[in-house]
Amino acid sequence: MKKNLIAGNWKMNASLEANDALVRAVLAGMGAQGADAFATVAVCVPAPYLAQVRALQSGSPLELGAQDVSCHEQGAFTGEVSAAMLREFGVRFCIVGHSERRQYHGETDAVVAQKAKIALAHGITPIVCVGETLEEREAGRTEETVKRQMAAVIHVNGHCISEICVAYEPVWAIGTGRTATPEQAQEVHALLRRQLAAATAHAERVHILYGGSMNAANAAGLLAQGDIDGGLVGGASLKAADFLQIIASAGRAAG
């Protein structure tokens, strides 16, 4: 049975002091729970803190993640961070196509697909985010939207598609305190799984995470769904106690 993947997305919230306390508390709590036995846990940190967090998590079961990667290999791309650079800092996971990047930085489906490809080429697992806006959901266009976003990634990544992670993140649920119900989330996860299955014989291997106001109270219900293989956790990953409770819920879902 595959382990759940619980990935924290710190977004642009961090400081040397806060990171130190948070990572130490998460590591201690993971040890006490024996989390390594039932979950893969990662924190996706702002790029300037990769070295700091790497020093804290190195040799531990906590994995290091990034929040974005350039779609270019190297060169004159001021401000960008390449996959090779992330890899040098021990990054194992990288979020790509987060709705905040699609919305505020104009990332298209094609750019997101290219980012997934370049991450894979450097041995980094992309966590590819897909999800509909409230307007799209209310217009009955959820399926069409997530399938279009996913199709671009499948098209560019071909047979490597079973190596990615997917995060279904309804945009209306991110940072809003509004969560998809377990049934709403499962419905979309199941259709994403079917779409992956049409492209690879190994669709069952792909972690499909739910993201959007996942917290200590709602995690267990979401993680109990058949096609929900973990969570991409924003706000609640900044509080060790909440993040640890979500990790514990993954253990209960596995057991």
Neighbours of 159 (CB within 10 A): 10
**Residue 230 engages ligand PEP in binding (rule: CB under 6 A):** no
Window of 25-33, 49-57, 154-162, 205-213 that interacts with ligand PEP by CB under 6 A:
205-213
CB of 190 closer than 8 Å to CB of 146:
no
98 is catalytic: yes
Phi, psi of 8 (to 5 degrees): -90, 135
Vertex 213 angle, CA 209 and 219, to 5°: 60
Q: Which of 107, 136, 169, 189 is the catalytic position?
A: 169
Vertex 63 angle, CA 65 and 22, to 5°: 85
**Residue 131 engages ligand PEP in binding (rule: CB under 6 A):** no
169 is catalytic: yes
Element of type H or E holding 112: helix 109-121
**Residue 6 engages ligand PEP in binding (rule: CB under 6 A):** no
**Residue 174 engages ligand PEP in binding (rule: CB under 6 A):** yes
Q: Token pair 């806060």 is at which residue?
A: 18
Nearest-angstrom CA–CA distance, 194 and 175: 28
Comparison of 145 and 200: residue with beta carbon closer to ligand PEP:
145
CB of 220 closer than 8 Å to CB of 182:
no
Window of 50-58, 147-155, 158-166, 210-218 that interacts with ligand PEP by CB under 6 A:
210-218
**Residue 8 engages ligand PEP in binding (rule: CB under 6 A):** no
Query: Token digits for 39?
Result: 């979950």
Window of 71-79, 120-128, 229-237, 239-247 that interacts with ligand PEP by CB under 6 A:
229-237
**Residue 45 engages ligand PEP in binding (rule: CB under 6 A):** no
Window of 15-23, 46-54, 105-113, 226-234 that interacts with ligand PEP by CB under 6 A:
226-234
**Residue 170 engages ligand PEP in binding (rule: CB under 6 A):** no
Comparison of 67 and 114: residue with beta carbon closer to ligand PEP:
67
Neighbours of 77 (CB within 10 A): 12
How does DSSP classify residue 217? Answer: T
Comparison of 46 and 84: residue with beta carbon closer to ligand PEP:
46
Nearest-angstrom CA–CA distance, 46 and 18: 13
**Residue 212 engages ligand PEP in binding (rule: CB under 6 A):** yes
CB of 87 closer than 8 Å to CB of 117:
no
**Residue 211 engages ligand PEP in binding (rule: CB under 6 A):** yes
CB of 114 closer than 8 Å to CB of 145:
no
Closest contact distance (angstroms) between CB of 73 and ligand PEP is: 27
**Residue 234 engages ligand PEP in binding (rule: CB under 6 A):** yes
How many residues form the binding site for ligand PEP (CB under 6 A)? 14
Query: Token digits for 215?
Result: 């917290």
Comparison of 3 and 11: residue with beta carbon closer to ligand PEP:
11
- Using DSSP's 3-state secondary structure scheme, residue 79 falls into coil
Residues marked as catalytic: 98, 169
> Which residues in this chain contact ligand PEP in the complex, by CB under 6 A?
9, 11, 169, 174-175, 211-214, 232-236
